[in-house]
Amino acid sequence: MTSPRKTKIDKTGKAIETKFKDDRKSRKRLTPEPTSHEKSFIRQLDEFIEPRLNLVFYSSLILTLLFGIFLFDVKISTGGDDSSYIEMANDFMKGRSFPTWHGPLYPIFLSLPMLLLGVKVVWLKLFSFLFVIGHLVIFYFTFRKHVSATLLGLVMLIISVSSSILYFASQTYSEAMFMFLQSLVVFLFINTYRFVTSANALSMKEEALQWFILGFFVLLASLTRNIGIVALLAMVFFLLIEKKFRAALMLSVSFLIFLIPFRIYKTIVWDAGRVRTEGQLSEILLKNPYNKALGTEDIQGMITRFFENARLYLSKHFMIGIGLHDPSSTDKSWFVTMLVALLFLLALYYAFRRSKIMLFVAIYLGASISATFIALQQTWDQMRMVVIYFPMLLLVLSWGIQQLAARKGYRFLFVVLPLILVFIFFKTLGQSTDKMKVNRKVLAKNIAGNQYYGFTPDWQNFLRMSEWVGKNISDTSMVASRKPSMSFIYSKGRDFYGMYRFPTEAPDKLLGNLIPRTGELKVIPNTSIARNWPVDLQLAIKKLNVAFVAEGNDLYGVYNLKGEEGIKVMQALEQYKVIPVSTDSILNRVRLSSKSCFAVSPDTLIQGLRKNNVEYVIVASLRANPNLNTGNIINNIQRYLYFVEQKYPGILTLVHQIGVNEQDEPAWLYRINYQYFGL
What pLDDT, on the 0 to 100 scale, is given for residue 663? Answer: 84
User: H/E/C letters for each residue in 186-200?
Assistant: HHHHHHHHHHHHCCC
* CATH T-level fold of 457-502+606-677: D-Maltodextrin-Binding Protein; domain 2 (3.40.190)
Please indicate whether residue 19 or residue 633 has the higher confidence score (pLDDT). 633
- Report the share of the chain in percent with pLDDT over 70: 90
Interval 513-536 mean pLDDT: 91
> pLDDT tens digits for 182-229?
999 999 999 999 888 887 777 888 889 999 999 999 999 999 999 999
CA 234, chain centre distance (Å): 22
CB 431 within 8 A of CB 163: yes
Check residue 39 and report its DSSP letter. H
Query: Within 13 Å and on the Cβ side, how many CA atoms surround 242?
Result: 22
What pLDDT, on the 0 to 100 scale, is given for residue 607? Answer: 94
Is the predicted pLDDT of residue 64 greater than 80, yes or no? Answer: yes
CA 364, chain centre distance (Å): 19
Confidence of residue 524 (pLDDT cuts 50, 70, 90): very high
What pLDDT, on the 0 to 100 scale, is given for residue 288? Answer: 67
Is the predicted pLDDT of residue 287 greater than 70, yes or no? Answer: no
Check residue 4 and report its DSSP letter. P
Helix pair angle (121-143, 175-197), 10° resolution: 30
What pLDDT, on the 0 to 100 scale, is given for residue 609? Answer: 95
Confidence of residue 4 (pLDDT cuts 50, 70, 90): very low
What pLDDT, on the 0 to 100 scale, is given for residue 207? Answer: 87
What pLDDT, on the 0 to 100 scale, is given for residue 631? Answer: 84
> pLDDT tens digits for 389-402?
999 999 999 999 99
What pLDDT, on the 0 to 100 scale, is given for residue 14? Answer: 37
Q: Compute the distance between CA of residue 56 and CA of residue 541 in angstroms, rounded to an integer.
A: 75
What pLDDT, on the 0 to 100 scale, is given for residue 460? Answer: 95
Indicate the domain borders of the chain.
38-172, 174-272, 457-502+606-677, 507-598
User: Based on the number of CB atoms within 10 Å of its own CB, is 3 exposed (0-12), middle (13-18) or buried (19 or more)?
Assistant: exposed
- Report the share of the chain in percent with pLDDT over 90: 71
What pLDDT, on the 0 to 100 scale, is given for residue 15? Answer: 38
Q: What is the secondary structure of 279-336 as a DSSP string?
A: HHHHHHHBS-TT-GGG-B--HHHHHHHHHHHHHHIIIIIHHHHTT-S-TT-----HHH
Q: What is the secondary structure of 50-107 as a DSSP string?
A: GGGHHHHHHHHHHHHHHHHHHT---SPPTTSHHHHHHHHHHHHHTTS----SS-SHHH
Is the predicted pLDDT of residue 291 greater than 80, yes or no? Answer: no
Predicted model pTM = 0.83
Q: Compute the distance between CA of residue 297 and CA of residue 376 in angstroms, rounded to an integer.
A: 12
CB 596 within 8 A of CB 561: no
155 sits in which H/E element = helix 149-160
Is the predicted pLDDT of residue 93 greater than 60, yes or no? Answer: yes
What pLDDT, on the 0 to 100 scale, is given for residue 279? Answer: 55
Interval 459-465 mean pLDDT: 96
Q: Compute the distance between CA of residue 248 and CA of residue 240 in angstroms, rounded to an integer.
A: 7
Give the β-pairing of 667-672 and 614-620. antiparallel
